[in-house]
Amino acid sequence: MTKKIAFQGEPGAFSHAAAHNLFPDEEAVGCVTFEETIAAVQTGRADLAVVPVENSLYGRITDIHHLLPESGLFIIGETYLRVEMNLLGLPGTRLEDIRAVQSLSVALGQCRRFIAERGLRTINGVDTAGSARQVSEAGDRSVAAIASRFAAEIYNLDVLASNIEDAEHNTTRFLVLSRDKVEASSATGKVKTTFVFRVRNVPAALYKAMGGFATNGVNMTKLESYMVGGAFTATQFYADIEGHPEDRSVQLAFEELGFFTDYFRILGVYPKTENH
């Protein structure tokens, strides 16, 4: 039976490409917002969701850090997508025919050098995939879109120029979310564990809470803080570590963490994916 995989954006979005890479034989379901993407899994409209959590240029995706811990969903996997910006035009169009380029403002900003060298006029679009769709529908050979190669395939556009982004290391990390708790086995190789916690209101609580990971040799690859409930004094932390909760070193680190926290919850235990 075909599964439904929710993602945020229009067909051809980078999130769609990430979902397709992971689940090429399943049905992708586009959603307007991150809230709608998560709700699709919560309500059963989709089986899984693939959502971005951080980008090598722009850091964390703030919405996900706020939505995920309260969603009741579990992280069951991760993947990395190299974000390659391409100039897409109508079939048969030449690069020298292009006078204007349309895309999401962030994407336009990532391709400033290419745009400036060719003196192109910029048009702000709602997103990259939507811009590709609009270029395809409008039929104006002087206007191109900046979007993924996947979007070119979906909207029947030609790739006029590849990898036009200024930074070569633009990569986004995505998480796979499920209603069902599916934990990787500690025997399956490298494992990541993601959890959230709040420290108790005592001096040096965070410093002491982190000490257990250092003394037990547990590598923490991510630690983010954000406010909860709009209160400056209520801070929640989101963390990734390398290791499984069944590992003795992780057990000891979590035990020490417990002395200095008043809230702790594991969001997922899943196979670690290397960022190539």
- In whole angstroms, what is the distance from residue 77 CA to residue 98 CA? 40
User: Tokens standing for 86?
Assistant: 């391409």
DSSP secondary structure letter of residue 15:
H
- In whole angstroms, what is the distance from residue 224 CA to residue 208 CA? 17
Is 174 a catalytic site residue? Answer: yes
Exposure on the CB side of residue 143, measured as CA atoms within 13 A: 16
- In whole angstroms, what is the distance from residue 171 CA to residue 55 CA? 6
Residues 14, 34, 74, 174: which is the catalytic one? 174
Q: At what angle do helices 248-258 and 205-215 cross, to 10 degrees?
A: 170
Residues 172, 193, 194, 261: which is the catalytic one? 172
- In whole angstroms, what is the distance from residue 251 CA to residue 117 CA? 55
Kindly report the backbone phi and psi dihedral angles of residue 103, in degrees, each rounded to the nearest multiple of 5, phi listed first: -175, 180
User: Quick one: CA torsion of 38, 40, 43, 49, rounded to 10 degrees?
Assistant: -60
Is 195 a catalytic site residue? Answer: no
Kindly report the backbone phi and psi dihedral angles of residue 166, in degrees, each rounded to the nearest multiple of 5, phi listed first: -70, -40
Please give the distance of CA 202 from its chain centroid, rounded to a whole number: 34
Q: Which residue shows structure tokens 């995939």?
A: 129
Using the Cα atoms of residue 7, residue 12, residue 14 and residue 20 in order, give the sign of their dihedral: positive
CB 191 within 8 A of CB 272: yes
- In whole angstroms, what is the distance from residue 267 CA to residue 194 CA? 5
Residues noted as catalytic: 172, 174
